[in-house]
Amino acid sequence: MAISERTAAAIEGGSFIRKMFERGNELRQKYGADAVFDFSLGNPDAAPPAVFEEKIVEWVRTPGENKYGYMSNAGHQEAREAVAARVSAEQNTAVPAGCVVMTCGAGGALNVVLKTILNPGDEVLAPAPCFMEYRFYTENHGGVFKTVPCAPDFDPDIEALEAAITPRTAALIINSPNNPSGHIYSQQVLEKLSQMLLRKQKETGRAVYLISDEPYRRIVYGGRTVPSLFDKYPHAVVVNSFSKELSIPGERLGYIALNPAAEDAERLVAGFILCNRILGFVNAPSLMQRVIARLPQDCGVDIAIYDRRRKLLCDGLAAIGYEFVEPQGTFYLFVKAPSGDDAADCERLAQYNILTVPGRGFSYPGYFRISYCVPDKVILNSLPYFEKAFADCKKAAK
């Protein structure tokens, strides 16, 4: 066999998001871009803040020797300090720059953390629905990934998570605001989750790392904020990316921030730095680190653009009869499959050139995800076809 059995199985399972995206490319070639309504990929299209590009030009024009040379594997000190200040404010905890490691996006950060903490056979849990790549990231490092279905309101089912934790459980990954539901975990939920994990630590004798994947932290609506975690649970790690909030996904810039109260924090950070190198990420993009070190702390894309699209989509689909919980953040809407079969309903939508992602790709069948980081006209022009597909789905359910 040319490739490993594990890789072959992963290819077969694949990513529903990427499959639908590639299908969209085929449809665009066949019917033209205006006839295809591609809601498959969370590829932010709002323009980056003007100051972001200004700082790029400013740094490029700044004289200096070896500006693009090697750096510490943890990242440029000025970038680590800027991120530490940001995380300290977000987490209500003084986080030193020494607890920050710059990474190649949040995906790189998650792989680095899991490589550092997992022994073969260790388990990683996540509330479902969740980002489908968590499973691959866990298996990359010899771990076993398990999901626990959330409550109907998309809060994590804390009792079910508690029952799922064993002495082999190394980590729990949470994602708030959540991809694909757009749900934000409240302060009360995080407190209960933290108390449960501390209780399980006493029972099993092992601390479970709580990894908070936060690339949508600053894409929230209605004046909401994402609660802090470090002031609730000592063994917490934040991984984040600037891809969504600055609209720079292709630049692959992210970071790991460790709660300084974690057991053996210094050794953990040393592990992150080593694994950053030996996994092949080596360093986060140097130019991007220089730029974010010079940006204002509140710098971000215009969230009003996504909020407007959220309203257009929610109002339009609700009028047709689709059922969903309105997202509190992100740029995703998680819709209940009208027929009950998410894969079949996504296929019915595709017959009208509407590309969505079935919920089973997020370990949560019965729903499908719509990414609304698309132009307003795509949403508006798609609504008549959503209505036709809805009728087809309802007919199939009878």
CB 241 within 8 A of CB 253: yes
CB 147 within 8 A of CB 127: yes
Query: Three-class SS of residue 100?
Result: strand
Residues 57, 17: Cα–Cα separation, whole Å: 34
pTM beyond cutoff 0.85: yes
**Res. 78 pLDDT band, cuts 50 70 90:** very high
Token pair for residue 342?
A: 């998410």
CB 235 within 8 A of CB 207: yes
Token pair for residue 172?
A: 């729990």
pLDDT of residue 313: 98
Flag whether pLDDT at 45 surpasses 80.
Answer: yes
What pLDDT, in 10s, does the model give residues 263-321? 999 999 999 999 999 999 999 999 999 999 999 999 999 999 999 999 999 999 999 99
**Res. 218 pLDDT band, cuts 50 70 90:** very high
- Percentage of residues in the chain having pLDDT higher than 70: 97
**Res. 192 pLDDT band, cuts 50 70 90:** very high
Flag whether pLDDT at 17 surpasses 80.
Answer: no
Task: State the helix-helix crossing angle for 342-350 and 376-397, rounded to 10 degrees.
Answer: 130
Token pair for residue 302?
A: 């215009």
Helix H or strand E encompassing 335: strand 332-336
What mean pLDDT, rounded, does the chain reach?
94
Token pair for residue 231?
A: 């002031």
pLDDT of residue 10: 72
pLDDT of residue 35: 84
User: Amino acid letter at 55?
Assistant: K
Token pair for residue 284?
A: 């986060």
Flag whether pLDDT at 18 surpasses 70.
Answer: no
Query: Three-class SS of residue 169?
Result: strand
Q: At which residue do the structure tokens 């629905």 appear?
A: 129
User: Amino acid letter at 236?
Assistant: A
φ, ψ of residue 170 to 5 degrees: the values are -100, -30
What's the DSSP call for residue 260? T
Token pair for residue 113?
A: 């953390």
